[in-house]
Amino acid sequence: MSVYNQPPAQQHHYGYRQPMPPAHGHHGYGGGYRAPPPPAQHVYQSDPAAFRHVYSTRLAELTMNSRPIIQGLSMLAQEQTRYSSIVAQCIEAHIRRIPPTMKLPAFYLLDAISKNVYVPYAAEFTPFVVPLFLETYDLVDNNTRSKMEEMLLTWRTGSPVGKELFGIGPQVAIERGIWGDGGNAASGSSSRVTPNQVMSELDFAIGQQERTLQSRPHDVAMQNNLAILHQLHALVAAGVSQPELKQILNQLRTLMRNSASTSAPPPIAASPPPPPPPQHQAPYAQPQNHYWKQDLYPQQQIPHPAPMPAVKIEPASALLPAAGSPDILSMLTNLVKSGVVSSNGTPIGAGSSSVQEIPDEKPDSDRLESRAYRDSILRHSVALTTSDVTRPRNHLIIECLYDTQSTQCKQCGQRFADSPSGQKKLEKHLDMHFVQNRQASQQTGRGHHRGWFISLDDWINDTVDVKGKGVDRGPARGRAAEAADQVKRNEELRAMFVVVPPGDEAKSIRCPICKETLKSEFLEDDEEWVWKNAVKKDDTVYHATCHSEAAASATTLVTRLIADDSSSRSRSVTPETNGRIASPRSSPLKNIKSESSSAATLVPGSPSSLAGMKRKAEYDEDGAIRAEEAPLKKVAV
Amino acid sequence: MSDHMDVADDAAFEPKVWDLGPETEYRFELDPGMCLVIVVLRGNAEIFGAELVEGKQHVFAGECKAAVYTWKGCSIEVTGRPSTEYTSDETLPMTAYANLHIAFEQMRVKALAHLRGSPIPDGPSRVTSESPRVLVLGPENSGKTSACKVLVNYAARSRMGWVPVLVNTDPREGGWAVPGAITAAPVAAPITTPSASLPLGAAASSAPTINPSNALLPLVYCYGHTDVQRNHLLLDRVIRNLGASVGDRFEANPEARSSGVVVDTPSTFAAGPANTASVRSKLIRACVDAFKINVILVIGHEKLNIEMQRTYGSQLTVVKIPKSGGVVELDPSYRDRILNMQLHTYFYGESFTPPPGLKLRSNAVYGGEALSDLVLSPASTTVGFEELAVWQIGEKSLAPSSALPVGATRTVSEMQPILIDPSKPGSGLLNAVLALLALPADGDERERYDEEVLDLGVVGFLVVTAIDIPRRKMTILSPSPMVFAGRTAIRGSVEWQEQ
Ligand SMILES: [Zn+2]
Ligand SMILES: [Zn+2]
């Protein structure tokens, strides 16, 4: 049975015989509008104008990324396929009319309808999807653009049989429009490829892989694949040459095409979500490849059977090989062969043993190496005298800095020794880039700011990663590990939530610190509405990340008073505070505090930290800090 | 402007290719607002010892004055309109830096071997087994900071992966903070300096970084003035505090010690009016003591070289090295402009306009970083006068002699913390740059003392952007959000100017 024809059961339920829609080939997008179906027994049955009015009115509510609204509009479209051209006109007009910030949710609606009710909607949208996408893309900010790119990539395999959602022509036209000629999946190798495009495709592959990993969290091979993709991403982000970009892109596409057509992993049971509270604004999830596997619609609410027939259920992982597939590894091997990733510079951290051979070293080969270096450097004769330091022996420095360190990181230019330990350091170094790039990708869209300076204690004890001197430096940890910790802490903070009090679902509240609206979300498992990335302190809800950051930078005293437990979690997001003063560095003028001068230098009643006052601070509505004096804890002697 | 001018303007932005022979350099200077893009087409090139990545667009702005040097020869493509550009083969200082690097490398490997207790079979016996702890002295425009950067960058590039500590004792330079700060930072990867506002690379921000040297973690103390003479007793004390902390760090991690220290100094340490000589030698002494200096480099100043030989020759090595011909004579307003730019960069990050007609590729870098995250967003908070205690250190003008303790000497007053009352008109707080101090240790209260404010590290810098005396509130610009209640800050003489 054709997977995208309407099921007979649905026709029966409607109580009329809907004509089978013309079977749209994947290249049949040019066919234009279909003849409207015969009228149905429904409220809108005889009145297209009434339907248009209802649909456009409800569409006007789609001003933000709200899953309930998108669901509702999708369901309405699904029920009224005979008015598909009206739906299409309404959506097109809506997207053209609304300001850029509201366009993405409308595209999500278009995306959801096309994928869920492929026939007849994909064909309805096809005539205008190219100009509409490109014009919108021009107007929106970078963050929205990358979301649109991600959506566009799902369209490549968005049809029920895994082909282009709107046909290959429109797909290529859009990709060419935003990425240039290189975007053309079918185009020859002569065209230019932009890093943005490759990054988008890598992002997409990574997203697919991550979703699959969620269902198989312990799949090591999958984790490795993911790590390699991340590192390729880091590599591209840091900048590679045009031929290298093309190679990466071609390999990635070959990989995706092969795996998309061959793999058919076991189906995943779709569990329908509970009905969301009506007035709530939950965001619509990122577009998936296919929706069939996770029906958007709560089936028990629909009085007729699910709209789509039992199609082959394809998990999102279809795009990338399943566990143990050699494809990513062979892809990397090819990249190594072609020199995109030097065999020295192969991103490691994942599957390294199969990608490249690193000789098993004796534990202290590092030491042997550094001893050899020491002996060689000590053989030279350079005296620290004015005349000797100007005597040219430049071959020494060239040997030291360049010739014996011919492997260079293409991201930052650092060099590594041509030796086993040099290779190991390179691996660690690339790991660091990987972590930092991942951090970067998680931080897009947030404003950045200069950090507070590190505390004396941390500065003294936290030795920056010594790029692998080959010794265990005990508790002192590398910068990469720390960055990873920080990523983890931020993830934990972002995962925190506060349950929305019943009745407050529609209320929009702002974080007192950053003044931005807290995002709410419906937790499927717990069946309740929550504010994400939120903590509640003294009846005030903050972003968990904002609160943690502010708490970390607050005094320990104030921290204790206002932040309780959250302060411990936020240890070194911005590691300052707690400046230790071991002892007075130079003899302090000990007696001055008892002299009369202190009265002259201290304004009465004006507390300072020196006076050791205990105070209570609260955020007021403006996010400013209000402090109340508490009884003196200690007065200067 | 006429068409003719436009044509000329456009022509100036055509990329130019420079072929540099071995051991030569391409020098450039940028006027305010100008931007330059350099791509290495082939060969190896470095700026102050930090290697450029072939094929990438390296962007420079912010009145950057620098030289692209090559040991083995290279071709570079330059787009933009520098106020000055030329190639030079007078690169004797690079030869000196190279030799110094080898000599310091010898000291480092011996220090490490000594620490690990491994035998040192041969090698010059004159090489001490102490790590290099280097003080760099020189007059204005002699290239002290360039020398420091090359030496530190070469160490960081060594296959041994040293992490030397770079110390800045020049309060006018501000290191990784703002002018008035005295700072030290471990350097794990070569420092890149795309702008005069980042003379020693950038301190960490929340923006993601590719290059670890753009997320430096400095330890910061506050002197509060740009003029060394203004309160030399305070500067002396701050330098000694910083030195003690560097010592503690080496204590905590002995292997880190073998990487050594390089200390940059103000030119006023090297030369100045005769009546400042005793202050100068006192401050040099403070550095030598604080950082346990074993090598003094004197750049191109024979008189100072002799003076240093005489004073320290018996206890440490004094080497005179040549002054760089590429060092730029700076116009008088330059320092003021840079000071404002540094302050602005600290809060707001970087911005620039690429050369007209040039499309920056997505892999273009500014100081090694992608161009997307250069702009920072500071926070602005309104606080009550009572919340943030602002002190100044011994400003005579604001501390009438009647307020001094009976019998107090002027020395006392110079080092005396004085609380500023923001409610007094003329408190001088508006537009003042404040150093927000770290908290004293949460420990034994008996260890607390009044001059603590002189010895505490700095957490960050603030600007008072508005004062509302009737409502007893002031508005504070800070790099990140912060709860100010119960905190202490120091006001120096550095002021914020809106750009
Ligand atoms: Zn790198
Ligand atoms: Zn917030």
Model confidence pLDDT, tens digit, residues B349-375: 888 888 887 888 877 888 877 776 678
Regarding pTM above 0.80, the answer is: no
User: Is residue B310 domain-resident?
Assistant: yes
Same domain flag for B404 and B296: no
| Residue-wise pLDDT tens digits, B416-437 | 888 999 998 888 899 999 999 9
Confirm whether residue B145 is marked as ligand binding: yes
Band of residue B48 on the pLDDT scale cut at 50, 70, 90: very high
Same domain flag for A506 and A397: no
Three-state SS at B295: strand
Neighbours of A345 (CB within 10 A): 23
Three-state SS at B129: coil
Same domain flag for B315 and B385: no
Round to whole Å and give the CA distance between A309 and B189: 59
Same domain flag for B146 and B224: yes
User: Is residue A282 domain-resident?
Assistant: no
Same domain flag for A54 and A94: yes
Altogether, the residues listed in chain A come to a count of 637
Task: Please report which helix (H) or strand (E) contains residue A351, including its range.
Answer: none
What contacts 24+ positions apart, CB below 8 Å, involve A532-540? Answer: A532/A494, A532/A495, A532/A497, A533/A493, A533/A494, A533/A495, A533/A496, A533/A497, A534/A496, A534/A497, A534/A498, A535/A496, A535/A498, A535/A566, A536/A498, A537/A562, A537/A563, A537/A564, A537/A566, A538/A562, A538/A618, A540/A512, A540/A619
Of A194 and B477, the one with more pLDDT:
B477
- Give chain B positions within 8 Å (CB) of A590: 449
pLDDT at B462 over 70: yes
Query: What is the predicted pLDDT for the residue at A163?
Result: 84
Give backbone dihedrals phi and psi of B315, rounded to 5 degrees, phi first.
-110, -15
Query: What is the predicted pLDDT for the residue at B124?
Result: 58
CA B412 to chain centre: 30
User: Is residue A252 domain-resident?
Assistant: yes
- Average pLDDT of A126-148? 89
- Give chain A positions within 8 Å (CB) of B458: 453
The residues in A 101-160 lying below 8 A from B, measured between CB atoms, are none
Bridge partners of residue B46, in order along the sequence:
B51, B69
User: Is residue B87 domain-resident?
Assistant: no
Give backbone dihedrals phi and psi of A42, rounded to 5 degrees, phi first.
-155, 170
Which range is most confident: A210-219, B149-158, B203-212? B149-158
Nearest CB neighbour to B124, from listed A381, A391, A602: A381
Instruction: Look at residues A150, A179, A208 and tell me which one is the last residue of a structural domain.
Output: A179
Query: What is the predicted pLDDT for the residue at A200?
Result: 79
| Residue-wise pLDDT tens digits, A351-399 | 333 333 334 444 467 788 888 899 899 988 899 999 999 999 889 999 9
Residues B121, B113 contacting (CB under 8 angstroms) = no
Determine the distance separating the centroid of ligand 2 and the alpha carbon of A274, expressed in angstroms: 29
Query: What is the predicted pLDDT for the residue at A451?
Result: 84
Same domain flag for B385 and B309: no
Q: What is the DSSP string of A486-502?
A: HHHHHHHHHH-EEEPPT
- Give chain A positions within 8 Å (CB) of B317: 384
Q: Which chain A residue shows the shortest CA-CA distance from B479? A: A450
pLDDT at B102 over 50: yes
User: Is residue A160 domain-resident?
Assistant: yes
Task: Provide the mean pLDDT of chain A.
Answer: 63
Least Cα distance to A136 among A164, A167, A177 occurs for: A177
Cβ partners under 8 Å of residue B31, min gap 6:
B63, B83
User: Is residue B76 domain-resident?
Assistant: no
Query: What is the predicted pLDDT for the residue at B6?
Result: 42
Same domain flag for A212 and A127: no
User: Is residue B54 domain-resident?
Assistant: no
Instruction: Return the DSSP state at A401.
Output: I
Residues A469, B160 contacting (CB under 8 angstroms) = yes
| Residue-wise pLDDT tens digits, A303-320 | 343 333 333 333 333 333
Domain CATH number, residue B287: 3.40.50.300
Determine the distance separating the centroid of ligand 1 and the alpha carbon of B87, expressed in angstroms: 29
- Average pLDDT of A183-202? 63
User: Is residue A232 domain-resident?
Assistant: yes
Round to whole Å and give the CA distance between A202 and A208: 10
Residues B399, B375 contacting (CB under 8 angstroms) = no
Which range is most confident: A273-277, A294-298, B277-281? B277-281
One-letter amino acid of A237: A
Round to whole Å and give the CA distance between B439 and A580: 8
Convert A52-87 to b/e letters by CB count within 10 Å (16 or more is b). Answer: bebbbeebeebeebbbbbbbbbbbbbbbbbbbbbbb
Nearest chain B CA: its distance from A336 CA (Å): 19
pLDDT at A467 over 70: no
User: Is residue B6 domain-resident?
Assistant: no
Same domain flag for A100 and A150: yes
pLDDT at B275 over 90: no
- Average pLDDT of A180-207? 65
Query: What is the predicted pLDDT for the residue at B327?
Result: 57
Query: What is the predicted pLDDT for the residue at B483?
Result: 87
Same domain flag for A167 and A213: no
- Give chain B positions within 8 Å (CB) of A396: 98-99, 102
**Do B363 and A513 lie within an 8 Å CB cutoff?**
no
User: Is residue B177 domain-resident?
Assistant: yes
Band of residue A541 on the pLDDT scale cut at 50, 70, 90: confident
* Cis peptide bond N-terminal to A363, omega within 30: no
Instruction: Look at residues B304, B321, B338 and tell me which one is the last residue of a structural domain.
Output: B321
User: Is residue A406 domain-resident?
Assistant: yes
Unique residue bearing structure tokens 């990867």:
B189
Of A281 and A593, the one with more pLDDT:
A281
pLDDT at A486 over 60: yes
Q: What is the interface size between A and B, counted as CB pairs within 8 Å?
A: 435
Of A265 and B240, the one with more pLDDT:
B240
Q: Is A49 on the interface with B (CB under 8 A)?
A: no
Q: Which ligand is nearest to the CA of A547?
A: 2
Instruction: Look at residues A215, A236, A259 and tell me which one is the last residue of a structural domain.
Output: A259
Query: What is the predicted pLDDT for the residue at A522?
Result: 80
Band of residue A430 on the pLDDT scale cut at 50, 70, 90: confident
Same domain flag for B110 and B190: yes
Domain CATH number, residue A93: 1.25.40.90
Round to whole Å and give the CA distance between A185 and A168: 9
Provide the domain limits for residue B222: 92-321
Count of structural domains within chain B: 2
Same domain flag for B149 and B245: yes
pLDDT at B263 over 80: yes
Query: What is the predicted pLDDT for the residue at A332?
Result: 53
The interface predicted TM-score (ipTM) is 0.89
pLDDT at B57 over 90: yes
Nearest chain A CA: its distance from B407 CA (Å): 11
Mean pLDDT is lowest, of A338-352, B59-73, B156-170, B323-337, for A338-352
Q: What is the DSSP string of A35-74?
A: PPPPP-SSTTTT-HHHHHHHHHHHHHT--S--HHHHHHHH
Instruction: Look at residues A210, A237, A259 and tell me which one is the last residue of a structural domain.
Output: A259
Count of structural domains within chain A: 4
Domain CATH number, residue B403: 2.40.30.330
User: Is residue B411 domain-resident?
Assistant: yes
User: Is residue A12 domain-resident?
Assistant: no
Band of residue B442 on the pLDDT scale cut at 50, 70, 90: low
Determine the distance separating the centroid of ligand 2 and the alpha carbon of A516, expressed in angstroms: 6
pLDDT at A237 over 50: yes
Provide the domain limits for residue A226: 199-259
What are the distances in angstroms from CA B496 to CA A207, B143, B428, B492? 46, 28, 12, 12
Determine the distance separating the centroid of ligand 1 and the alpha carbon of B354, expressed in angstroms: 25
Same domain flag for A81 and A161: yes
User: Is residue A533 domain-resident?
Assistant: yes
Query: What is the predicted pLDDT for the residue at A565?
Result: 32
Residues B181, B220 contacting (CB under 8 angstroms) = yes
Same domain flag for B129 and B254: yes
Of A306 and A195, the one with more pLDDT:
A195
Round to whole Å and give the CA distance between B452 and A583: 10
Least Cα distance to A603 among B91, B181, B422 occurs for: B422
Nearest chain B CA: its distance from A479 CA (Å): 9
pLDDT at A337 over 50: no
User: Is residue B459 domain-resident?
Assistant: yes
Round to whole Å and give the CA distance between B488 and A607: 10
Same domain flag for A398 and A504: no
Same domain flag for A116 and A235: no
Confirm whether residue B427 is marked as ligand binding: no
Same domain flag for A170 and A58: yes
Nearest CB neighbour to B450, from listed A556, A558, A593: A593
Mean pLDDT is lowest, of A20-29, A256-265, A565-574, for A565-574
Instruction: Look at residues B321, B356, B388 and tell me which one is the last residue of a structural domain.
Output: B321
- Average pLDDT of B134-159? 94
Q: What are the helix and strand counts (H, E) for chain A? A: 22, 9
Residues A529, A499 contacting (CB under 8 angstroms) = yes
Instruction: Look at residues B321, B350, B370 and tell me which one is the last residue of a structural domain.
Output: B321
Three-state SS at B89: coil
Confirm whether residue B142 is marked as ligand binding: yes
Band of residue B331 on the pLDDT scale cut at 50, 70, 90: confident
Query: What is the predicted pLDDT for the residue at A465?
Result: 41
Same domain flag for A156 and A54: yes
Same domain flag for A150 and A110: yes
Q: Which chain A residue shows the shortest CA-CA distance from B151? A: A397
Unique residue bearing structure tokens 């994400």:
A532
Q: What are the helix and strand counts (H, E) for chain B? A: 10, 25
**Do A464 and B406 lie within an 8 Å CB cutoff?**
no
Of B61 and A363, the one with more pLDDT:
B61
- Give chain A positions within 8 Å (CB) of B190: 413-414
Same domain flag for A56 and A169: yes
Q: Which chain B residue shows the shortest CA-CA distance from A595? A: B405
Q: Which ligand is nearest to the CA of A544?
A: 2
User: Is residue A29 domain-resident?
Assistant: no
Query: What is the predicted pLDDT for the residue at A500?
Result: 85
